[in-house]
Structure 1
Amino acid sequence: MGSVFTITVVDTDSTKANQHIDQVVAEVSRIENLISEWQPHTQISKVNQQAGIRPVVVDREVFDLTKRALAYSELSEGAFDISVAGLDWIWQFDGSMTELPSPEMVQRSVAHVGYQYIVLDSVASSIYLSKKGMKIGFGSIGKGYAADKGRELMQQMGVKGGIVNASGDLAMWGKPLGERHWKIGLNHPFRQHQIMQVLKLGEEAVATSGSYEKYAEIAGIRYAHIINPKTGYPSTGLTSVSIYGPSAEMANALSTSIMVLGPKKGKVLMKAFPLYNYIFVTDAGRVLKSRKR
């Protein structure tokens, strides 16, 4: 998935622990071989190859993940959109950009983006991209989904506790030996090597989206690498969004959406999800936290 996965298990001995870790690795690889848009043999790559031509029948798991992605798009009023994979990447986040692209370039960049052009047929279990040149990709929720599935597998196998860490998107269960909770440190986006907050969690998940590692700074404004799918412009206003609650996939979807929506609309969206908490850090360095607990 283009990401580093770190798997921790609380187990009876090292041999069993390694076997269980191998099973999680196999599960992540299985998911990658279904939903990667970079590997040409996957079902999602085949959907992209047939954009504007015909529907492609996919496994129910892939269909259901896509259906949930469209639900996230509706909930976020289009701030979340898996068809952002079809963007023309006119923004550079390696420090080389010195001026904004023209409005015409930005408008053209989103010509193939729009979740409303993703057509699902539940009976046939098919996905059709109705605009030629469209693409879908699960960079936004794929890691969270894989972390959730790895956790689910380990619980089915009777493993008492552990963490599946998908490059910062974590799904955990149980507790470490001799402790009451898993302690998860959130990095401060403006203070290198400093922990902003330590979360004490049980069977929960955490996802963070941010612009503090990949961004462009032009005329004193920081532009995040997360693009608003409706406008083609990078998100501004928030440097970091951390969401924690039951599902890494949902936390992933919320953190990505809120980076685009900004703090005000982000708080409104979070009211619809009482099982989830947030920590926002604005571009000005202000920390905003939910008060649910």
Structure 2
Amino acid sequence: MKQVLFLILLLSGFSATSQVLRKRAIKLMGSRFDITIVATDSLSAEHSIDLVIAEVARIENLISDWKADSQISQVNKNAGIAPVRVDPEVVALTERALHLSRITNGAFDISFAAMDRIWKFDGSMTEMPSPEMVKKSVEKVGYQHIVLDRAKSTIFLTRKGMKIGFGALGEGYATDRCRDMMLARGIKAGIVNGSGDMSTWGKQPDGSNWAIGITNPLQNDTVFAVLPIRQSAVVTSGSYEKFVVFNGKRYAHIINPGTGYPATGVSSVTVFGPSAETANGFSTSLMVLGKEAGLKLIRKYPNYSYILITDEGQIFSSRSLGLNKDHL
């Protein structure tokens, strides 16, 4: 449900201290992870990157819905049959996902994994799916049918054919976990970027803030703003590469799990805040909710800042970000 984040990370090559910066890219959770570590020496930095990779792989083996032996796959196999015991960590993640579903009125829903993929964004669609097809595509979607038992540490999907999948929310969770793990080990600066779900901490070796360039969704080979990352996480959802147009209206690849219809009206949403996991849930939800309902939601959470860009190029952003532009 989430577009790969189109952010340009701006790294300084200068170090005013004895610290070194090391980077590595690797495929994890089916996506590209870019890991940047600042440490006192190369050996320590490379070892820290190894630890981050191991932690992401551990989480992937726990929650992946395409690995047959994962706990989430077992939950899905037992939909409508019986509760499945999972690690408390998985229960807690699911509980937070359900909270996101409730506060967004279902705009975010991990049971979207059961949705029929009737929309194609590869250029092959020539007409809108029928209303009957759309309705049928979401028959097995519904977070209300996910039952958690914290005391027994179980998850039960009450309807046959239901599935849950964490997707990019899981990537955000993994990046947050790795950041916290590195801080606990005394690594004072770095970035873990899981295909755009980005958790950062500390500063660059020269003492400057990490900074990102925000892509212009109307001209996605250009950057319209460069911002320092003062809060520790940033996530972008966008519809400007994968969409279809019917009768002059643009339909994004991000699908409303409640209706089965693609999101319309918003080209991209960037959310800054303390948690990449939560920022991911918000960015996806704002795409689905649209400008008015989306802004109403995110403004209830002052720990999270936002940049929302409509299909017409209008920019809405938190005052704290200091953006002067109101239109691209």
With the shorter chain as reference, the TM-score category is over 0.9
- Indicate whether 1:48 and 2:48 are aligned: no
1:31 to 46, 53, 59: 59
Per-residue CA deviations over 1:139-189 (Å, capped at 9, x if unaligned) read 141111111011111111111100001111110000001133111111111
Alignment partner of 1:230 is 2:255: no
Deviation at 1:219, TM superposition (A): 2.3
Q: Provide the rounded CA distance (Å) in 2 between the counterparts of 1:10 and 1:226.
A: 35
3-state DSSP class of the match of 1:98? coil
Matched, 1:171 2:183: no
How far did 1:193 drift?
A: 2.1
Identity, in percent, stands at: 56
CA-atom RMSD, angstroms?
1.0
Return the match for 1:84 from 112, 120, 132: 112
Note if contact 1:160-1:173 (Cα within 8 Å) is conserved in structure 2: yes
Provide the secondary structure at the position in 2 that maps to 1:292. Answer: helix
SS at match of 1:196: strand
Paired amino acid for 1:177? P
User: Could you state the TM-score of these two structures normalised by the residue count of structure 1?
Assistant: 0.98
| Counterparts of 1:166 and 1:240, CA distance in 2 | 18
The aligned residue for residue 57 of structure 1 is 85
Residue 249 of structure 2 corresponds to residue 221 of structure 1: yes
- Alpha-carbon deviations, 1:65-88, whole Å to 9, x = none? 000000000000110100001001
CA displacement 1:106-131 (0-9 Å, x = unmatched):
00000000000001111101000001
1:119 equivalent in structure 2:
147
**Structure 1 residues 269-284: aligned runs within 5 Å:** 269-284=297-312
Match of 1:210 among 221, 231, 238: 238
Give the partner amino acid of 2:291: P
Give the C-alpha shift of residue 203 in structure 1. Answer: 4.8
What letter matches 1:78 in structure 2? G
SS in structure 2 of the partner of residue 145 of structure 1: helix
Q: Which residue in 2 is equivalent to 1:70?
A: 98
| CA distance in structure 1 between the aligned counterparts of 2:219 and 2:254, rounded to whole angstroms | 21
Query: How far did 1:192 drift?
Result: 2.9
Residues 41-70 of structure 1 show CA distances to partners (whole Å, capped at 9, x for unaligned) of 000000000000000000000000000000
Equivalent residue for 2:217?
189
Match of 2:184 among 152, 156, 159: 156
SS of 2:320 mapped into structure 1 = coil
- SS of alignment partner, residue 84 of structure 1: helix
Give the number of aligned pairs. Answer: 293
CA shift, 1:217, in A, is: 2.0
SS of 1:280's equivalent in the other structure is strand
Q: Secondary structure at the match of 1:91?
A: coil
SS at match of 2:167: coil
Deviations 1:260-292 (A, max 9, x none): 000101111012210111001111121111113
The AA in structure 2 aligned to 1:206 is V
> Residue 288 of structure 2: SS of its match in structure 1?
helix
